[in-house]
Chain A
Amino acid sequence: MLGDEAIALGALHAGLSGVYAYPGTPSTEITEFIQNATGYGKETYIIGGHELKANGKIHSRWCSNEKTAMEAALGMSYAGKRALVCMKHVGMNVCADAFVNSAITGVNGGLVVLAADDPSMHSSQNEQDSRFYAKFAMIPIFEPSNQQEAYNMMEDAFNLSESLKLPVLMRVVTRLAHSRANVEIKEKANDENKLNPDNGRHWVLLPAIARKNYLSLIEKQKDMINASLSSKYNKLETTKQNAKLGIIACGIGYNYVMESNAEDVEILKISQYPLPEQKIKDFAAKCEKILVVEDGQPVVEEAVHGILGAEYSILGRLNGNLPRTGELNPDSVAIAINAAITGEEPKEYPTATSPINVVGRPPALCQGCGHRDVYTALKEIVEEYKDARVFGDIGCYTLGALPPFQAINSCVDMGASITMAKGAADAGVWPAISVIGDSTFTHSGMTGLLDAVNDKSNITVIISDNLTTAMTGGQDSQGTYRFEQICLGLGVEPEHLHVVVPLPKNMDEIKQILRDEINYKGVSVIIPRRECIQTHARKLRQAKK
């Protein structure tokens, strides 16, 4: 099964009562698996030949964004039940307020936050490492090295969360989330926790209480370190006694180290944090130098510098022994190990140059997609207004930045199209046009639109509505069929709110509305609405069955 599916099943078998998430590659399939396994009134579900009891009451509906997801899960934990929150790495930025403070309140029922990082940015705008967030919040991390471990760890993570009364982060990367392997599973799922709402004052983060909670969180650090020291996931492996090179292999970095078949090395596998400092000191004492192999940013490498001091020789991404950016792979790790053993400069890392007669084939908007018609209209309008700037957002329509459209000037984070257009308009840019999808609008666009309305900012907002969260594979969108009411409720003037159908035959109408609304000195919203052709085709196929 897929790594994401192993995580989902591990959570279900650990006695999960609810998953809360917003779709985001590479984390989406976790929630989808739980929806498919437990939804639709099934009594049992069959995985890998085992028939298991389904529980139609397990919450799995999509949330508006990662912050609402995190808070709802904390509420479920408050009520005594086990809850899982799933997101891609940048979702951690959205839920950071709730996430960091959930370590101060503590939890009641087990609470696991699953962050799927995307080193190499296969489908993301950065490669931030979620382990920083757990260190910042001072909570434990589990980082599985393979699908089996991901399945097994989920139960351990819930147990640790309940014994420490803290949320636990599970961090995975694309190559685990989106890779399949055989996984052995339990025959029976745990029962869910009973409803048992907490009553303690520690949930009220008034300064006087929060100060006490913070001290108690600091007290718990030694329990967390002890858990890491005795963890079966942090283990020593030796191919040769008294090897000069020690390798600290974190998460899936361990797989690439093992794949290299390196002899004459000692390996310390790290899959549970905070770092077991004493173990690392003992390990370093046996070796002459240490290579840190971790996917993502050099989180452990920096920490090991602190643990071992300036005298000790530590190799990794920071000193150039491994590439500073991008995901690890068996080739880069093999080169790094070889260089670390010989003490030579690592030989050149193979780059992703294409062989002769091969050219890039970038992704493109589907033929027949409504976003295409929106960009066709927009491109012509922008040619009429030479100073126009188009602020884009996150979704399929970000592909409007590529040829043939090249129609957007920015794409930063969920919802930024509206607020950046507003700021640019405040500075004097005209026309300032924002393009945002329906799901992104309800995720983080609504509050920005309220700001713009309150300021009567001179912007034109296009909510390109395809009735779904298309980029991640067609999940439900939270505001479907309610966008006019939402915009009116936020104060958009009815005469400056338009719904159009993005089809070539309506091109003249759409362009005229765009011109009129650009010329209006205030907030206008245009909603081109036509269902995503992928979800439409899927529904037709299902209807046929």
Chain B
Amino acid sequence: MKTDIILAGVGGQGILSIATIIGEAATKAGLNLKQAEVHGMSQRGGDVQSNLRLSNETIYSDLIPRGKADLIIAMEPMEALRYVQYLSPNGVIVTSSKPFVNIPNYPDETELFKELDSQNKVVRLDIEEMAKEIKAPKSANVILLGMAAPFLDILSAEELRSAVGRVFSSKGEAIVEANYKAFDFGYENANK
């Protein structure tokens, strides 16, 4: 069994933290993992992505072939759409619905969402609003991870949730609790 995930967003939005949590859960579960990251020039307000591959067999390529990704997890809707050619026909997109507009030619939002919603299966929510709602403004990315959990077949929601706890454990009880809450909130809302 294997799961191929593309994480996408804009530099600074916290996609690598999502990768760290999934990676922690995968390592604990004894899975093989490969995760290609982007460092350097592309981080400064530009688009960033990471290829995350999990499997109980040997993983060769660090990059996911086109049309083979099971899941796109994106902190930004246009960034989600950027990688659709990598998504498998049965693939799922889990994304923030809030555009991050730092360029003058950002596409028309109605058209953007029309294109996004025409994909196989899309779960999109305003995770930043949700984070404010539960008073965990810095945990929007963990809400997104919670939303993605039902579609991440190779790991159970409980395995991911406990990885959230381990990754944030050094930051104190309050932050761990806030992130558990964020994860649960995302998970509950993804199913609706």
Bound Cα distance A334, B65 (Å): 9
B45 at interface by CB-CB < 8 Å: yes
Asked whether, in the complex, the Cβ of A179 is within 8 Å of the Cβ of B34, the reply is yes
Asked whether, in the complex, the Cβ of A330 is within 8 Å of the Cβ of B63, the reply is yes
Known contacts: A25-B39, A179-B34, A180-B35. The answer to whether A358 contacts B46 by CB under 8 A is no
Q: Which of A26, A175, A181, A355 contacts B84 (CB 8 A)?
A: A355
Known contacts: A355-B85, A359-B105. The answer to whether A123 contacts B34 by CB under 8 A is no
Asked whether, in the complex, the Cβ of B40 is within 8 Å of the Cβ of A357, the reply is no
A122 at interface by CB-CB < 8 Å: yes
Least CB separation from B32: chain A residue: A182
Q: Which of A252, A354, A360, A472 contacts B62 (CB 8 A)?
A: A252
Bound Cα distance A364, B44 (Å): 6
Asked whether, in the complex, the Cβ of A359 is within 8 Å of the Cβ of B66, the reply is no
A256 at interface by CB-CB < 8 Å: yes
**B 51-66 binary contact with A (CB < 8 Å = 1; else 0):** 0000000011111111
Asked whether, in the complex, the Cβ of B41 is within 8 Å of the Cβ of A363, the reply is yes
B43 at interface by CB-CB < 8 Å: yes
Of B107-115, B145-153, B177-185, the segment with at least 4 beta carbons within 8 Å of chain A is B107-115
Asked whether, in the complex, the Cβ of B62 is within 8 Å of the Cβ of A175, the reply is yes
Max chain B Cβ within 10 angstroms of own Cβ: one of A123, A329, A361, A471: A361
Bound Cα distance A399, B46 (Å): 12
Known contacts: A255-B60, A259-B65, A366-B44. The answer to whether A358 contacts B36 by CB under 8 A is no
Bound Cα distance A254, B60 (Å): 8
Bound Cα distance A254, B62 (Å): 11
Q: CB-CB < 8 A to B36: which residues of A?
A: 175, 178-180
Q: CB-CB < 8 A to A543: which residues of B?
A: none
A350 at interface by CB-CB < 8 Å: yes
Bound Cα distance A258, B58 (Å): 10
Q: CB-CB < 8 A to B107: which residues of A?
A: 357-359
Bound Cα distance A366, B65 (Å): 33
Q: CB-CB < 8 A to B61: which residues of A?
A: 255-256, 258-259, 329-330
B33 at interface by CB-CB < 8 Å: yes
Least CB separation from A334: chain B residue: B65
CB distance from B31 to the nearest CB of A (A): 9
B94 at interface by CB-CB < 8 Å: no
CB distance from A422 to the nearest CB of B (A): 27
Bound Cα distance A258, B44 (Å): 34
Asked whether, in the complex, the Cβ of A364 is within 8 Å of the Cβ of B102, the reply is yes
Asked whether, in the complex, the Cβ of B103 is within 8 Å of the Cβ of A180, the reply is no
CB distance from A7 to the nearest CB of B (A): 15
CB distance from A353 to the nearest CB of B (A): 9
Asked whether, in the complex, the Cβ of A361 is within 8 Å of the Cβ of B34, the reply is no
Bound Cα distance A354, B10 (Å): 16
Q: CB-CB < 8 A to A472: which residues of B?
A: 40
Q: CB-CB < 8 A to A396: which residues of B?
A: 44
Q: CB-CB < 8 A to A471: which residues of B?
A: 40-41
Count contacts on A: residues with CB < 8 A to the other chain: 43
Q: CB-CB < 8 A to B44: which residues of A?
A: 363-366, 396, 399
Within 8 A of B (CB), among A235-273: 252, 254-256, 258-259
**B 63-82 binary contact with A (CB < 8 Å = 1; else 0):** 11110000000000011011
B159 at interface by CB-CB < 8 Å: no
Within 8 A of B (CB), among A432-481: 471-473
Bound Cα distance A362, B41 (Å): 9
CB distance from B32 to the nearest CB of A (A): 6
Asked whether, in the complex, the Cβ of B34 is within 8 Å of the Cβ of A259, the reply is no
A331 at interface by CB-CB < 8 Å: yes
Known contacts: A256-B61, A361-B46, A363-B43. The answer to whether A354 contacts B82 by CB under 8 A is yes
A427 at interface by CB-CB < 8 Å: no
B120 at interface by CB-CB < 8 Å: no
Asked whether, in the complex, the Cβ of B103 is within 8 Å of the Cβ of A179, the reply is no
Q: CB-CB < 8 A to B37: which residues of A?
A: 2, 178-180
Known contacts: A178-B39, A354-B82. The answer to whether A366 contacts B45 by CB under 8 A is yes
Least CB separation from B100: chain A residue: A361
Max chain A Cβ within 10 angstroms of own Cβ: one of B38, B63, B64, B115: B63
Bound Cα distance A358, B107 (Å): 7
Q: Which of A123, A258, A354, A366 contacts B41 (CB 8 A)?
A: A123
Known contacts: A176-B62, A334-B65. The answer to whether A359 contacts B106 by CB under 8 A is yes
Q: CB-CB < 8 A to A2: which residues of B?
A: 37
B165 at interface by CB-CB < 8 Å: no
Q: Which of B42, B43, B65 contacts A330 (CB 8 A)?
A: B65
CB distance from A24 to the nearest CB of B (A): 9
CB-defined A-B contacts under 8 Å, sample of 12: A2-B37, A29-B39, A123-B40, A123-B41, A179-B34, A180-B34, A181-B33, A252-B62, A258-B60, A355-B81, A357-B81, A363-B43
Known: A122-B42, A361-B46. 16 other contacts (CB 8 A): A2-B37, A123-B41, A179-B34, A182-B33, A255-B60, A256-B61, A330-B65, A334-B65, A355-B84, A359-B78, A359-B107, A361-B45, A364-B45, A364-B46, A472-B40, A473-B39
Binding site for B on A (CB under 8 A): 2, 25-26, 28-29, 122-123, 175-176, 178-182, 252, 254-256, 258-259, 329-331, 334, 350, 354-366, 396, 399, 471-473
Q: Identify the 3 closest CB pairs spanning chains A and B, nearest first.
A: A25-B40, A363-B46, A123-B40
